[in-house]
Amino acid sequence: MSDAAANQPLKTADGIPLKASLARAESRARRKAFLLVLPLLAFILITFIAPIGQMLHQSFYNEGFTVREDVVSGKRTPIMVNLKQWFDENPQGSEPDEAAYAALAADLLHLQELRAAGSAGTRINYERSGSRSMFTKGARNAKKLEPPYKEAILDLDDEWSDPELWQVMRDASSGYTINFYLAALDRAKNADGEIVMVDPERQVYVKLFIRTLVLSLLITFLTFILGYPIAHLLATLPLRYSNLLMILVLLPFWTSLLVRTTSWMVLLQSQGVVNDALVASGLLGDENRLQMMYNQAGTVIAMTHILLPFMVLPLYSVMRPINPSYVRAARSLGATSFTAFRRVYFPQTIPGIGAGALLVFILSVGYYITPALVGGADGQLISNLIAFHMQKSLNWSLAAALAALLLGGILILYWLYDRLVGIDNLKLG
Amino acid sequence: MAASQNEDAFVEFERVQKSYDGETLVVKDLNLTMPKGEFLTMLGPSGSGKTTCLMMLAGFETATHGDIRLNGRPINNIPPHKRGIGMVFQNYALFPHMTIEENLSFPLEVRNIGKSDREAKVKRALDMVEMGAFGKRRPAQLSGGQQQRIALARALVFEPELVLMDEPLGALDKQLREKMQFEITDLAHRLGITTVYVTHDQTEALTMSDRVAVFDDGRIQQLDAPDTLYEEPQNSFVAQFIGENNTLEGTVKEIRDGIALVQLDDGELIDCLPVNVSKPGERTRVSIRPERVEFNKERLQAGAHTLKAEVMEFIYMGDIFRTRLKVAGNDEFVVKTRNAPDQVRLKPGEQIEIGWLPQDCRALDA
Ligand SMILES: Nc1ncnc2c1ncn2[C@@H]1O[C@H](COP(=O)(O)OP(=O)(O)OP(=O)(O)O)[C@@H](O)[C@H]1O
Ligand SMILES: [Mg+2]
């Protein structure tokens, strides 16, 4: 083809540019395909995108101090409106004056009428412990309050003058806040609205994020070391034996997670089977039984076992189709068996390693039940704290902020993986 | 272990047996001697043990019994990477994660050959198979024939003295195959490489090889040059397997002056060359090539036995005519004649008499 012809856009027989004609021909097929995947799209939207969006929203929006929603009628009533107005009129750092206390008194009375003092107090309590009881007590006595309100309220409880409390109320009065993210990173705003670290004994989350990351990496590495040879064996054994072995690998999938975790407890606790056997065989003195349960070791052992199949299966799926003639060819070309493995076999399994590692890592970062059962105090992972805030402390916004940080971290890792290895190098099966 | 008996033997199999499962022998008593520079083809039906023999030679299977020697040295205890044998696999086995150049330089790298030397050799090997422009591509970006050439270049780049090829052309279409057949033999002869070539395509075996070993049932049925193999098959398997062949069954009446008189099952008598028969009364299968059958009486020897035949079908094939006859109860009897101006074109239903020279009609095992 000459250069001139190559630069001309190609045309079909009747002169329509080839590109347009192709696009038209394909758009019908695309529309049809779209209709077919529509149910799935709707399903994902409802069960996946929407909850995640809801969670992300919750992590920086909490209306516990701004709106009272009646459980029965669903009627929404704004609360703390007077105080909010005072906050709007007086800039950050203003000393609360009589007007502020008057607004507070009016709002407390309103809370008492709505029976909402508990929930409003809880919202403040998230960031300043001990505040909930002040609100319930204040609301109970709201009717009796008379001017001057400042004295009356401080008479009830002189904690009301705490500048930190006023800072928290100022933040909470607007619904939107980044305070939960700050809390999830062990930070808070001080009385002047500056971001500072919380007291050292209350710094838990960053430590837990780091521990989660380190343990997940360790578990990923262990599953790789243990899984690679198994996957190789599976891929090279005659089908008859490999099927049997495959069943053994898959067995954990078919057993209840709880049953398996409990079995680990039976085996590994200090009065458990393993320790008993070691003591009985004289390898270990009775007084220094190994602590393999209710600590990080327990979490690592149990999770490595549980997540092993997620490493083995992707590895197996890339190893099975690797023709043995590649290694043979390498050998016949003069490579020792180690060189043949390193230069020819191993590189072809990298997509499986990437997929398995990513799978195991992401699963273990979010793992909850096993660390909860066998992790003890120092084997807990970040998801255990998320669950704690979801179920016990009912601080959903903090739970959401922690979860959002976790999600963000995983997305960053995913992006890094794509940059370093390339996501199209991933083979999941 | 004993040194080679045969001084110019390069590859030797001596009484080699192989069993995979300990119950059946896949290779039974294999004896084979190849001089240096020979192009030998192993030809045989599927499952006859050809690949197994190649794998034993390359070191990926061990012989259950017997000796294999390379250049006079027993190789049973030499690991594959020290045998220095180039191998072309049926699926080419080009490393998919390496470029063509990397594939070719792999055997040189593991031999610790310097970079500049390596590059020169890779370039020379690529040019040799006329693939110089493709060095930066991956195997998946090449056509089947191009991959085949790269596989060949890779097996030759480290200058092995012996090259093994296991059905390297199996995946190619007919035209490309014929071209590659020529290229491979040309290259092998030019470089003076000893080659063991496996195929189950008999045309390929006949056109390419110095000698052909016909395998069946774990044994070499016959090992000869292509023309000998075709014209003088030693048993009925070889006669059937190589080229087209007509068979008639009968019993030996007498053997005299190097001519066997055979009575066919329908009672008629014919003269044959006794190959696998020794005494009267033996059952035999008589083999005649389609192009050696004659129905023009004038061209037959005086007094030669003739057979009655009925023309079943006449097929015009351009260069030749193929006529199917019914002879002595066998209606798959084929005659091939050259398309010449004076050639007779037989018509179905015609009754004719056919005959042949006794030496073209071989009495083989039943
Ligand atoms: N690894 C193995 N384990 C067990 N039996 C095998 C193995 N490899 C081959 N066989 C058996 O050995 C016999 C010979 O196989 P081989 O591969 O040598 O045949 P082949 O002549 O190369 O056939 P083809 O033309 O189909 O490639 C076959 O019956 C086969 O089933
Ligand atoms: Mg084979």
**What are A38-86's pLDDT values in tens digits?**
999 999 999 999 999 999 999 999 988 999 888 888 889 899 999 999 9
Average pLDDT over residues B205-215: 94
Assigned CATH for B9-236 = 3.40.50.300
- DSSP for A35-68, please give it: HHHHHHHHHHIIIIIHHHHHHHHHHHB--TTTEE
- Mark yes or no for CB contact A328/B60 under 8 Å: yes
Chain centre distance of CA A16: 52
* Cα nearest neighbour of B151 on chain A: A329
Q: Is A326 on the interface with B (CB under 8 A)?
A: yes
Q: Tokens 């459980």 identify what position?
A: A71
**What are A151-174's pLDDT values in tens digits?**
899 988 889 989 889 988 998 998
Residue A29's CB: how many other CB atoms inside 10 A? 9
Between B358 and B150, the higher pLDDT residue: B150
Chain B: closest CA distance from residue A7 (Å) = 25
For ligand 1, atom 31, the nearest C-alpha belongs to: B47
Ligand 1: residue of B18, B50, B220 to mutate (most ligand atoms within 8 A of CB) is B50
- CA pair distance A255, A263, nearest whole angstrom: 11
Class of domain A205-425: mainly alpha
Overall pTM > 0.90: no
What ranges do the domains of chain A cover?
3-59, 67-200, 205-425
- Mark yes or no for CB contact A333/B110 under 8 Å: yes
- Using the Cα atoms of residue A238, residue A239, residue A243 and residue A249 in order, give the sign of their dihedral: positive
Chain A: closest CA distance from residue B29 (Å) = 25
Q: Write phi, then psi, for B112 (nearest 5 degrees).
A: 60, 40
Class of domain B244-365: mainly beta
Atom of ligand 1 nearest to the CA of B27: 14
**What are A86-119's pLDDT values in tens digits?**
999 988 878 889 999 999 999 999 999 988 899 8
Q: From the CA of B199, how far away is ligand 2's center (Å)? A: 8
Q: Write phi, then psi, for B279 (nearest 5 degrees).
A: -140, 155
pLDDT at A53: 93
Between B172 and B201, the higher pLDDT residue: B201
What ranges do the domains of chain B cover?
9-236, 244-365
**Residue B295 near residue B359 (C-beta atoms within 8 A):** no
ipTM of this complex? 0.79
Asked if residue A1 has pLDDT above 90, the reply is no
Query: A337 contacts in B (CB within 8 Å)?
Result: 81
* Cα nearest neighbour of B55 on chain A: A328
